[in-house]
Amino acid sequence: MKTPQILVAGMLMLAVTTGLASDLAKEKRWADQIVDELIDGDAVWLKADGQKFLSILTPAAGDTKGGVIVLHGIGVHPNWPLVVYPLRVQLAERGWTTLSLQMPILRNEAQAQEYVPLLDEVPGRIRAGIAALKEQGAEPIFLVTHSLGSGMARHFLAAGGDAAITGFVGVGMGVNKDVPQINSLGALKRIRLPILDVYGENDLQTVVDTAGERVAAARAGGNQDYQQVTIPGAGHFFDGFEEPLVQTVADWLSQKTK
């Protein structure tokens, strides 16, 4: 017996739809682990596009200077010990209310190009984060991102972003010319916000080798408030170089709120 065409079409559509979505089972596993072990900050459940996702709110020490949305890199979570945790906790110690978001993720071995379909899920999560920080009275609001999180932020901002975002920090921000939707020089040409581009001296080749191209792209787009900083000795995950990374970001944020 032949399968009805409508049923076949429906099955194909379901396969495509589920294939393009974040791995929610993995998100739940991360969330269960994080909530059980969380010491610094509070787990806050947000909702975007009908889907609940985890974020971690870390209030500023003393009066807040503003809010920071932290976006992690490929396949990890909002309490990742490298780059993400130091930024979200130490920026809070320096007076910034931070909100670290769980971004859409795939299986561990997934490559950057496989994340392209998930970009549709990014704006809703960032905007949910913006709303949550506004509820805390934490403004102005900045995006501070790492690796693939920087690519997601660039895509969001280049497509129009949100007027509530005051500036953008990309840590380990590479250019993957095979995946222009995520890591493109074209996106940098379209972003008019203040940008801080921070990378390690021993970062990934896709980051180090394209540093000059990123500067040129921002300048070609007319962005006169683009700054690039290299952290001597640091690698892509800034292991052992957390202090200079956080201080560089904190100093820049303070400059943008004067």
Is residue 12 situated within a structural domain? Answer: no
The C-alpha torsion from 64 through 65 and 69 to 73, rounded to 10°, is -110
Number of H helices, E strands in the chain: 9, 8
Is residue 161 situated within a structural domain? Answer: yes
Spatial distance between the Cα atoms of 171 and 149, rounded to a whole number of angstroms: 9
Is residue 228 situated within a structural domain? Answer: yes
> Which tokens in the block code for residue 171?
């840590």
Global pTM reads 0.91
Is residue 142 situated within a structural domain? Answer: yes
Q: Smallest Cα–Cα separation from 256: which of 165, 146, 133?
A: 165
Spatial distance between the Cα atoms of 201 and 241, rounded to a whole number of angstroms: 11
Q: Smallest Cα–Cα separation from 56: which of 97, 105, 107?
A: 97
Per-residue pLDDT tens over the stretch 61-116: 999 999 999 999 999 999 999 999 999 999 999 999 999 999 999 998 998 889 99
Instruction: Assign residue 235 the CATH number of its domain.
Output: 3.40.50.1820
* Count of the separate structural domains present in the chain: 1
Q: Range of 178's domain?
A: 22-256
Per-residue pLDDT tens over the stretch 5-59: 333 233 323 333 344 589 999 999 999 999 999 999 999 999 999 999 999 999 9
Spatial distance between the Cα atoms of 103 and 72, rounded to a whole number of angstroms: 7
